[in-house]
């Protein structure tokens, strides 16, 4: 007898822990968490479907209680909790969880609002036709291996003989030990097309297969933004796919209520809880994170989903929609991880590898099925051949049987005399007398002929791979014709899916104002209603006593604003990045927004919508040098700025305008002189950024430049000339003839009194409005049509009444679309 000490086996603890943990991990990976790449099922799903097949719950059979199915699965195959089995059964019956459901559920099986299903004692189920045809057909034809169940009392299939790649069709999700899988569902028809293409052209790559299988197709519809995530998933097995719900803007009305614009959500991203989404929207509205929403309600019914998000009257629908995409699960990322079991080992699969594994398995099951039916046909033909021998020698066989002492002697005599097999002899002994009729004899001969042809056909299938591939294609096409449905998820190939700050902000007109001491702010255009000519205007900003307005422009909040400094450096911001402020606020220091030094001064601001190839930036220095550079050269301005122009030692950059090659340039001086010359290459050839430019205008002693604008050939606007004492006029552009560059120009206005100077000069249309800004920050907005048209030598009319210590500092035109929007405000 061995002692206890002799029975103890010394073991290294580290090795034992490693081995035990690995065994546990593989048990979870293979036996519970990861699906098989062949039939796409985890053990629990496979056992449920097989148990239902065993119970006879076919699509045309009556429903049975889910509790009956769960009990069958637990008792025979799945030694785990009943709730886990029921949860798996429920998911296979939910049309919002599975692209093509495998179980036909009767009763409450939950909802997209995450409502729980009814208890298993209340719900009923049976198999769907797709499950029978695509997963369980031929399971009794020795197509797959069976193994013993947990107690050895039953046999269960190790895999189902799938005819479709179920793992790609309905997807799968699972967390194992140290690894996880998350495979999106796909469209059945597209999968069949991809499989057929790969069968016919085995050399197809992942990229080429994507022509047939463009991307996932989720049961809840929605949109996939961009192809990059899909391509990455198909090529590497991992990828992030951006999913977006369907939200459209409609006008809704109710009895006794005025019509309102509303965002109608009809489809959600996959696995998004509708009730939780509505609750999240309400929280964001209450916290004022999303503005413009007045009400949210769920109008979904049996006909489909409908979430109504009513908007306030002043809300911009697209901005609210973009905020919903940014802040709520109306847009989510699906992290794909195409991990599955191949030969009972986890493998990260590409699209091509997925299809190859399935086709290899399908060919194997087809071969096994063919061998099974060939064996059955040969066994039957053996019997039929014995019957034919009996029919040919019926009299002598009857005599032999009558002379035999017992059945065993008769069987042995038949085997010996007629060289029959045991099975043939038994068949003859069991043959009924009615088989001796001529009609029955003919049936036996006909059956033998049919069996001979069938055996030849089945043998040919086993011998020739082309036949097997043809059969696979035929069966796939039959499944597609019966079960394929249109794609539900739209793929938006041109969108990246990412939302930036600009997508969440309305593109509205605004005014940007910069003071002499470097303060900047943004204001809405409707801050200043249109006023009559010769009024005093409104205060546009509160300034220090020694500060004045220096720069001023009108733009859209989505515009790029280029800031040109006196050093010839250009900086860039989006208009919405400039803090919005009230009419009387001072604004914020420019140094908080731009990396400028204390000695550097912004001398020109330019709003740009897009950096097109056919436009130029024209720069004019205080010293009279002018340069034309392609706008595209400024499309990527670094955070610390970009050199825009090279300057002489004492020169500074003054004005910047956008121009086309067909335009002409109008430049004005403080003393009332103006010159106009062409922008074309003859007068002004394009130069690079780090160049100085050429002479624009000859100035009299003491005169300085005051402004610059561009005139296009089709331009019908007038030249607006405004003096510092508040007078102005519109002059027809043709009165300023085109000259050669670097001349002295011609007179643009006559002054009312000695010492008066020009404050601004530029183009204006009769349907536009102008904004005048004084040195003390008073702003007036008035219609250009109210300013009379006069000749170059006229003095103009009063535009604004000024205080004795004030003067006009800047002039800007408001485009017609901005002015029309606010016409009622006046």
Residue pair 618/656 in contact (Cβ under 8 Å)? The answer is: yes
* Catalytic residue chosen out of the listed positions 24, 63, 122, 234: 122
Q: Report d(CA 188, CA 99) in Å as an integer.
A: 9
* Rounded CA Rg of the chain: 43
Which are the contacts of 402, defined by CB distance < 8 A and separation ≥ 6? none
Long-range contacts of 239-242 (CB under 8 A, 24+ apart): 239/335, 239/336, 240/333, 240/334, 240/335, 240/336, 241/184, 241/215, 241/216, 241/333, 241/334, 241/336, 242/331, 242/332, 242/333, 242/334, 242/497, 242/498
Contacts made by residues 447-450, CB under 8 angstroms, sequence distance 24+: 447/384, 448/381, 448/384, 448/385, 448/388
Distance of CA 205 to the CA centre of its chain: 24
Residue 750, helix vs strand vs coil:
coil
Q: Which residue has the tokens 């219609």?
A: 783
DSSP three-state, residue 101:
coil
The DSSP secondary-structure symbol of 589 reads E
- What is the C-alpha to C-alpha distance for residues 110 and 117, in angstroms, rounded to an integer? 4
CB 710 within 8 A of CB 719: no
63 part of the active site: no
Q: Are strands 331-337 and 124-127 parallel, antiparallel or unpaired?
A: unpaired
Nearest one of 607, 597, 601, 691 to 644, comparing CA atoms? 691
3-class secondary structure, 509: strand
Neighbours of 129 (CB within 10 A): 13
Q: Residues of 142-158 as b/e, b for ≥16 C-beta within 10 angstroms? A: bbbeeeebeeeeeebbe
Residue 138 is encoded by which pair of tokens?
A: 């031929």
Max Cα–Cα distance, the chain, nearest Å: 153
CA distances (Å), 329 to each of 247, 279, 487, in order? 13, 11, 22
Contacts of 298 (CB under 8 A, 6+ apart): 274, 275, 278, 306, 307, 308
Buried b (16+ CB within 10 A) or exposed e, 729-752: bbbebeebeebebeeebeebbbbe
In the numeric block, which tokens belong to residue 224?
A: 């996939």
- With CA atoms as reference, report the closest residue to 394 among 445, 446, 451, 433: 433
- How many whole angstroms separate alpha carbon 628 and alpha carbon 430? 108
Cβ atoms of 511 and 522 within 8 Å: the answer is: yes
Q: Dihedral through CA 320, CA 323, CA 324, CA 329, nearest 10? A: 180
So which residues are the catalytic ones? 122
């Amino acid at each position: 007898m061995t002692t206890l000490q002799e029975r103890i086996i010394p073991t290294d603890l580290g090795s034992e822990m490693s081995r035990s943990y690995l065994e546990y991990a593989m048990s979870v990976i293979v036996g519970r968490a990861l699906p098989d790449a062949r039939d796409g099922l985890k053990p629990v799903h496979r056992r449920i479907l097989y148990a239902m097949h065993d119970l006879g719950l076919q699509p045309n059979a009556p429903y049975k209680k889910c509790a009956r199915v769960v009990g069958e699965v637990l008792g025979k195959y799945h030694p785990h909790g009943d709730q886990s089995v029921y949860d798996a059964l429920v998911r296979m019956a939910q049309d919002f969880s599975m692209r093509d459901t495998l179980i036909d559920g009767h009763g409450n099986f939950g909802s997209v609002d995450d409502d729980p299903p009814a208890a298993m004692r209340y719900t009923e189920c049976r198999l769907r036709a797709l499950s029978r045809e695509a997963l369980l057909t031929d399971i009794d034809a020795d197509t797959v291996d069976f193994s013993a169940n947990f107690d050895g009392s039953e046999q269960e299939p190790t895999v189902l003989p799938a005819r479709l790649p179920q793992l790609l069709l309905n997807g799968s999700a699972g967390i194992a030990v140290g690894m996880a899988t998350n495979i999106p569902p796909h469209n059945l028809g597209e999968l069949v097309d991809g499989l057929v293409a790969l069968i016919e052209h085995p050399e197809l790559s992942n990229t080429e297969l994507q022509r047939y299988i463009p991307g996932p197709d989720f049961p809840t519809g929605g949109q996939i933004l961009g192809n990059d995530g899909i391509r990455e998933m198909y090529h590497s097995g991992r990828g992030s796919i951006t999913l977006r719900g369907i939200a459209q803007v409609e006008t809704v009305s109710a009895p006794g209520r005025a019509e309102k614009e509303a965002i109608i959500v009809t489809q959600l991203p996959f696995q998004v809880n509708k009730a939780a989404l509505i609750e999240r929207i309400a929280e964001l509205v209450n916290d004022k994170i999303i503005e413009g929403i007045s009400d949210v309600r769920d109008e979904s019914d049996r006909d489909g989903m409908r979430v109504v998000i009513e908007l306030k009257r002043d809300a911009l629908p697209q901005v609210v929609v973009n905020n919903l995409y940014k802040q709520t699960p109306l847009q989510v990322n699906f992290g794909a991880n195409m991990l599955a079991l191949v030969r009972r080992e986890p493998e990260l699969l590409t699209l091509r590898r997925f299809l190859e594994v399935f086709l290899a398995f399908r060919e194997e099951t087809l071969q096994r099925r063919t061998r099974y039916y060939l064996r059955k046909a040969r066994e039957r033909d053996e019997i039929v051949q014995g019957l034919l021998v009996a029919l040919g020698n019926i009299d002598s066989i009857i005599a032999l049987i009558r002379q035999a002492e017992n059945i065993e002697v008769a069987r042995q005599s038949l085997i010996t005399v007629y060289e029959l097999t045991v099975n043939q002899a038994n068949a003859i002994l069991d043959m009924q007398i009615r088989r001796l009729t001529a009609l029955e004899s003919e049936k036996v001969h006909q059956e033998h002929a049919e069996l001979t042809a069938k055996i030849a056909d089945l043998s040919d299938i086993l011998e020739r791979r082309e036949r097997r591939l043809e059969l696979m294609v035929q069966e796939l096409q039959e499944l597609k014709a019966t079960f394929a449905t249109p794609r539900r998820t739209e793929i938006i190939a041109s969108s990246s899916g990412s939302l930036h700050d600009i997508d969440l902000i309305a593109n509205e007109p605004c005014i940007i104002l910069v003071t002499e001491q470097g303060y900047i702010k943004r204001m809405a255009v409707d801050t200043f209603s249109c006023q009559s000519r010769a009024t005093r205007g409104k205060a546009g900003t509160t300034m220090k006593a020694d500060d004045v307005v220096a720069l001023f422009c009108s733009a859209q909040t989505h515009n790029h604003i280029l800031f040109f400094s006196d050093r010839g450096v250009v900086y860039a911001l989006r208009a919405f990045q400039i803090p919005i402020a009230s009419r009387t606020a001072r604004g914020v220091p420019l140094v908080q927004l731009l990396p400028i030094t204390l000695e550097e001064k912004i001398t020109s601001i330019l709003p740009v919508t897009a950096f097109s190839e056919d436009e130029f930036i024209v720069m004019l220095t205080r010293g009279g040098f002018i340069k034309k550079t392609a706008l595209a050269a400024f499309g990527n301005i670094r955070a610390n700025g970009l050199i825009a122009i090279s300057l002489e030692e004492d020169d500074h950059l003054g004005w910047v305008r956008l121009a086309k090659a067909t335009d002409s340039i109008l430049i004005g001086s403080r003393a009332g002189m103006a010159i106009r010359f062409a922008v074309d290459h003859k007068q002004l050839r394009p130069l690079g950024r780090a160049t100085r430019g050429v002479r624009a205008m000859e100035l009299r002693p003491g005169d300085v430049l005051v402004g610059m604008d561009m005139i296009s050939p089709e331009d019908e606007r007038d030249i607006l000339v405004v003096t510092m004492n508040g007078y102005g006029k519109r002059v027809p552009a043709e009165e300023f003839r085109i000259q050669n560059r670097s001349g002295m120009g011609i007179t643009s206005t006559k002054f009312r009194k000695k010492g008066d100077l020009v404050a601004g000069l530029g183009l204006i249309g009769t349907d536009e409005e102008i904004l005048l800004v004084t040195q003390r920050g008073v702003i007036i907005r008035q219609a250009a049509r109210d300013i009379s048209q006069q000749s170059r030598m006229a003095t103009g009319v009063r535009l604004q009444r000024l205080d004795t210590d004030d003067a006009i500092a800047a002039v800007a035109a408001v485009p017609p679309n901005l002015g029309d929007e606010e016409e009622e405000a006046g």
